[in-house]
């Protein structure tokens, strides 16, 4: 079997969905499982719905209407006749959404988030699946939540591999399946999500559990480049990279692949192809075992909206194991992601990411025990396979707040 993953950009409008058909016709779609994300920026639009609902704002119905109109526009442009089936299916999802909004009594933000956010993927996969069936590409739509089982760590759920493997093994390898990325379900039956951009990971979970021959992630870029083309001029295609290199790049923030994607593939030696959905003749990037970086050039990774925090003891004692473990515990409690650490005798600096909006709470706790200074909205640049010229180009981009170099990797925090 082979696994394909199409992200939001590849299903953002009717034309893009027709392009997915072109990809399938070109590549073949026998024995294939296709993981699809929410359309375009719909996950962000659902985040706005969640926010309105949670804060009881009166623009809630307006936000829902925006999402409805977006999907119905696509349906209008995609289906020429016989819209009854698709409309009925889509209305069911909107019915389930309103049902939840009315009945829900639980106030926990992360729980609410996961019960709502997944409608983006449910809607997109339903539309694509019905469209493919209509044009003769016979497929089965499956609800991923019946297959990927997780704990109840909402918005960043951990996969229960044992039951997930059991469930996925029941799939028929001779079928064409369409399913959602990003989602799972707890043993209690609640929807969970695997973290933003988590559909790549979902695709890797299926690849692992089905012993797939390969996973292909279809992108709006030529493959994995040596830098994000949105922020760096002249980004170049990496023809091949090892799992290890891809893990490092994704870990440091190369948003082209979700960091959790690589490990399941590496464990079963399943090759990952990252390819352009525009240019089907191009081979893109192959990520696999023993594939050394080709071409061997410096790779640049940018993480924006970081916070650089420096922490010192109030009594000027040294920053050693005791303090450090205490600080890490607090960081962990507020789900702050640490992207860089630097320690000296009297001060400890961390570059962190506040994905869950907890920084102010973290500050008020840590301020009670330590002397804290911080700088918000800084950028973390990582240069892998760094050389002097590469590092110079980054140093020119702003005021350097921190610089750290280890074996070929240089990291800089810039204001
Ligand atoms: P999707 O969600 O549709 O799968 P994303 O938008 O999440 O796609 O990922 C593709 C984008 O990732 C590209 O358009 C590019 O801007 C960005 N990107 C960041 N780093 C890299 C990189 N090293 N190589 C290629 N693309 C990158
Ligand atoms: N739709 C989700 C997101 O935008 C998951 C994904 O696309 O990978 O984060
Ligand atoms: Mg994405």
Distance 325 CA to ligand 2 centre (A): 33
pLDDT at 152: 98
Closest ligand relative to 303 C-alpha: 1
Closest ligand relative to 255 C-alpha: 1
For 133, the 3-state DSSP assignment is helix
> Six-digit token pair at 374?
């911080």
Atom of ligand 2 nearest to the CA of 120: 1
What is the C-alpha separation between 315 and 313, in angstroms, rounded? 5
pLDDT at 318: 87
What is the C-alpha separation between 32 and 60, in angstroms, rounded? 38
Closest ligand relative to 121 C-alpha: 2
What is the C-alpha separation between 318 and 251, in angstroms, rounded? 30
What is the C-alpha separation between 397 and 304, in angstroms, rounded? 13
Distance 124 CA to ligand 2 centre (A): 12
Q: What is the pLDDT along the chain (415 residues), one digit of tens a residue?
A: 999 999 999 999 999 999 999 999 999 999 999 999 999 999 999 999 999 999 999 999 999 999 999 999 999 999 987 899 999 999 999 999 999 999 999 999 999 999 999 999 999 999 999 999 999 999 999 999 999 999 999 999 999 999 999 999 999 999 999 999 999 999 999 999 999 999 999 999 999 999 999 999 999 999 999 999 999 999 999 999 999 999 999 999 998 999 999 999 999 999 999 999 999 999 999 999 989 999 999 999 999 999 999 999 998 788 888 889 999 999 999 999 999 999 888 889 999 999 999 999 999 999 999 999 999 999 999 999 999 999 999 999 999 999 999 988 999 999 9
Burial 216-249 (b: 16+ CB within 10 A, else e): bbbbebbbbbbbbeeebeebebbbbbbbebbbbb
User: Which domains, and CATH codes, for the chain?
Assistant: 2-220 (3.40.1160.10), 299-414 (3.30.2130.10)
pLDDT at 199: 98
CB of 38 closer than 6 A to ligand 2?
Answer: yes
For 286, the 3-state DSSP assignment is strand
CB of 43 closer than 6 A to ligand 2?
Answer: yes
DSSP code at position 12: S
Give the torsion through C-alpha atoms of 217, 218, 222, 227, to 10 deg. -50
Would you say how long the chain is, in residues? Answer: 415
Task: Tell me the per-residue pLDDT of 44-57, one tens digit each, with 9 for 90 and over.
Answer: 999 999 999 999 99
The rounded percent of the chain whose pLDDT value lies above 70 is 100
Distance 113 CA to ligand 3 centre (A): 18
* Inter-residue contact 280 to 23 (CB < 8 Å): yes
């Amino acid at each position: 079997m082979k696994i394909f993953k199409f992200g939001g950009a590849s299903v953002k409008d009717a034309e893009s969905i027709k392009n997915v058909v072109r990809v399938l016709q070109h590549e073949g779609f026998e024995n294939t499982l296709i993981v699809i994300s929410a359309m375009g920026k719909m996950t962000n639009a659902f985040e706005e719905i969640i926010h309105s609902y949670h804060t009881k704002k009166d623009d809630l119905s307006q936000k829902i209407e925006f999402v409805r109109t977006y999907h119905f526009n696509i349906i209008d442009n995609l289906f020429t006749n016989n819209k009854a089936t698709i409309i009925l299916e889509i209305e069911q999802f909107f019915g389930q959404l309103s049902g939840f909004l009315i009945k829900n009594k639980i106030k926990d933000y992360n729980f609410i988030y996961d019960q709502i956010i997944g409608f983006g993927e449910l809607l997109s996969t339903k539309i694509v699946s019905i469209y493919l069936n209509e044009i003769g590409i016979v497929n089965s739509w499956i609800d991923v939540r019946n297959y990927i089982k997780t704990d109840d760590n909402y918005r960043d759920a951990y996969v229960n591999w044992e039951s997930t493997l059991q469930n996925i093994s029941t799939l028929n390898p001779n079928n064409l399946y369409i399913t959602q990325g990003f989602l799972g379900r707890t043993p209690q039956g609640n929807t969970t999500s695997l973290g933003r951009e988590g559909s790549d990971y979902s695709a890797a979970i299926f690849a692992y559990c089905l012993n797939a021959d390969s996973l292909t992630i279809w992108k709006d870029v030529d493959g994995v480049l040596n830098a994000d083309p949105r922020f760096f001029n002249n980004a170049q295609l990496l023809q091949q990279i090892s799992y290890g290199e891809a893990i490092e790049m994704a870990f440091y923030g190369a948003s082209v692949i979700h960091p959790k994607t690589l490990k399941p593939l590496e464990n079963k030696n399943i090759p990952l192809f990252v390819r352009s959905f525009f240019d089907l003749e191009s081979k893109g990037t192959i990520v696999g075992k023993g594939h050394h970086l080709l071409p061997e050039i410096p790779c640049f990774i940018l993480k924006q909206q970081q916070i650089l925090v420096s922490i010192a003891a109030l009594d000027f004692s040294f920053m050693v194991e005791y303090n450090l473990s205490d600080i890490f515990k607090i960081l962990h409690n507020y789900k702050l992601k640490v992207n860089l650490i630097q320690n000296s005798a009297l001060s400890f600096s961390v570059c962190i990411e506040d994905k869950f909006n907890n920084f102010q709470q973290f500050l008020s706790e840590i301020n009670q025990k330590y002397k804290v200074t911080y700088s918000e909205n800084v950028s973390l640049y990582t240069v892998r396979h760094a050389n002097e010229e590469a590092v110079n180009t980054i140093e020119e981009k702003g005021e350097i707040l921190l610089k750290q170099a280890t074996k070929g990797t240089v990291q800089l925090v810039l204001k």
